[in-house]
Amino acid sequence: MSGPIITIDGPSGSGKSTISRLLADRLGYVYLDTGAMYRAVGLKAAKSGLDLDDPASLEVLLADLDLQLLPGSADTVVMMDGRDVSLEIRSAAMGMMASKVSAYGPVRAKMTALQQHMARNGEVVAEGRDTGTIVFPGARHKFYLNASAPERAKRRTAQLHELGMTANYQEILAQIEKRDHDDSARTLAPLRAAADAVWIDCTKMDIPAVLQFMLDKIREET
Ligand code: DC
């Protein structure tokens, strides 16, 4: 039997990545960053120059996609078509591209299958938008992490600055609000808390407090 899976879903900038990485570290689990996978597809789409409003174009793009996630001690290393794209996919523009391509059925079907395969042995902390609802509906522990849009924009702006990228708070806030809307309103696997997920509003919580809360919940539910 495979080990447990923990899912952490929530909107952009809610702190999912930081918390998921720390939680995986604490438990000795693998961290699965599903957003990185959609970002990689977004990057490939951006570079391809294909017409993204034509679903057939995306099928072509997916057919020769070679995507690998190498879990590391810091950020996940993302290899696409033999190239390390880990930093390139982190830009705000790639966040928007990821959101766009992620609404297409063939993209979601391929990413979902890849994610399920990557987690086949369990002991995984998966984060994204639909990990608790669609990808791992049977996960043992599920969390839904949220924070106010201004707080998330503040955190995301600081994070991009730390990566050496330019980021303007007002622009990031507008992008976050657009992504919140698009990710939640789409028909396929919309951003949604699973019915059995534990909600955490971390607007006023720091990272250690969120981590402790999750560890306590996991212990309680085990
Ligand atoms: O978590 P992130 O910002 O790296 O995600 C980028 C985009 O990818 C997000 O706006 C929507 C999409 N995404 C998704 O549709 N499903 C997931 N499980 C993860 C991300």
Q: Ligand 1 mean position to 18 CA, how many Å?
A: 15
Domain around 171: 5-216
Q: Ligand 1 mean position to 38 CA, how many Å?
A: 6
Residues 89, 38 contacting (CB under 8 angstroms): no
Does 127 contact ligand 1 (Cβ within 6 A)?
no
Confidence (pTM): 0.94
Distance CA 80, CA 86 (A): 9
Segment 194-203, tens digit of pLDDT: 999 999 999 9
Segment 206-216, tens digit of pLDDT: 999 999 999 99
Q: How many domains does the chain have?
A: 1
Looking at the domain assignment, is residue 10 inside a domain?
Answer: yes
- Could you please report the per-residue DSSP string of 32-72? EEHHHHHHHHHHHHHHHT--TTSHHHHHHHHHT--EEEE--
Does 11 contact ligand 1 (Cβ within 6 A)?
no
16: buried, middle or exposed (CB in 10 Å: 19+, 13-18, 0-12)?
Answer: buried
Domain harbouring 186, CATH code: 3.40.50.300
Distance CA 80, CA 101 (A): 16
Looking at the domain assignment, is residue 11 inside a domain?
Answer: yes
Residue nearest to atom 16 of ligand 1 (CA): 129
CB burial readout 139-148, b (16+ within 10 A) else e: bebbbbbbbe
Looking at the domain assignment, is residue 108 inside a domain?
Answer: yes
Residue nearest to atom 20 of ligand 1 (CA): 35
Residues 200, 210 contacting (CB under 8 angstroms): yes
Looking at the domain assignment, is residue 61 inside a domain?
Answer: yes
Distance CA 77, CA 80 (A): 10
Segment 102-141, tens digit of pLDDT: 999 999 999 999 999 999 999 999 999 999 999 999 999 9
Segment 38-66, tens digit of pLDDT: 999 999 999 998 888 887 888 889 998 99
Q: Ligand 1 mean position to 28 CA, how many Å?
A: 24
pLDDT at residue 71, rounded to an integer:
73
